[in-house]
Structure 1
């Protein structure tokens, strides 16, 4: 049986949503000199890279990318970051993922950063689904969707051809 794909966002729409989220990040960090964009591997980090590029165009904020690695099937395991905790201590951090499904990945990512004193902590996602298992929300989101539990959202980041589809 072939799965029917419904395009939610095309490349242009993703670029627009990315720019809007970047402006929101800048507005909420206007008094900061730098901001840490912590992207959850793999797609969250790719989204963070795109946000960093837009922030460089629209603001004087210095953006520092941080890759957050975790086993999404076993989030209780170790969460690792490409930066040592001392690099983001007392700074503004935005935890970024491509899709917020049940909230599991985001909540364990948040938990990791709460072990370090931060100046400000926010979350950003491109697609926010309304099936949360945990009381976690995205502070910045591109689009919110009400979908059935048996549907999934897949975001693909390809240079010049980013897409988000509902499967």
Structure 2
């Protein structure tokens, strides 16, 4: 079956603009906000949000990247002493409002790993979650604060986000398994 396009470039842009305004509204501006993009597409989305927030507020928003690889609960071999955030990055975590940014929220395990990493490097005032797509099927009690689009899916389906930075185009597809 041909993948079903759920979002195009314009709808992704509108969703990120709406999320940016929601972040501003919920936090009374951006003075204490730090965006943390979960690699890889969450990082790209966080950069876009940081740009939009700066355009709207006229203030630069700190943005960090997070590789949660060593915090995953499904890896047998962990990387010992892996540095996730540098010493300089840590000042953007403690006593700040952290907005974790990812492309697709599914089981919640990636977000749990991201929260563990953030907490290991500082004590944020609050942690919010922004995701472009929420597809359901949570295994952990994690709920996004800012959502681009809710897309109820079957577990056998797959949501694929394409971003210009990595894929040359902006779109979101729903892929269903062949029913042969």
Q: TM-score, normalised by structure 2?
A: 0.83
The equivalent residue for 1:48 is 46
The aligned runs of 1:121-136 (5 Å cut-off) are: 121-136=127-142
The equivalent residue for 1:35 is 33
The equivalent residue for 2:178 is none
The CA RMSD measured in Å over matched residues stands at 2.1
Structure 1 distance, partners of 2:119, 2:127, is 9
The equivalent residue for 1:161 is 169
1:112-142 per-position Cα deviation (integer Å, ceiling 9, x unaligned): 2234221221010000011111111111001
TM-superposed deviation, 1:66: 0.3
TM-superposed deviation, 1:107: 1.3
Contact persistence 1:26–1:61 (CA under 8 A): no
Q: TM-score, normalised by structure 1?
A: 0.89
Name whichever of 114-123 and 15-24 sits farther off: 114-123
Structure 2 distance, partners of 1:45, 1:62, is 16
- Return 5+ residue gaps in structure 2 as ranges: 176-180
Name whichever of 122-131 and 60-69 sits farther off: 60-69
Runs of 4+ that moved beyond 4 A? none
Structure (1 or 2) with the greater helix fraction? 2
The aligned runs of 1:43-82 (5 Å cut-off) are: 43-71=41-69, 75-76=72-73, 77=78, 80-81=84-85
SS of residue in 2 equivalent to 1:114: helix
The equivalent residue for 2:18 is 20
Structure 1 distance, partners of 2:63, 2:52, is 13
Name whichever of 134-143 and 82-91 sits farther off: 82-91
Taking a change above 3 Å as real, the CA distance of residues 146 and 59 of structure 1, as seen in their structure-2 partners, is same
Count, aligned residues: 164
SS of residue in 1 equivalent to 2:69: coil
Contact persistence 1:36–1:92 (CA under 8 A): yes
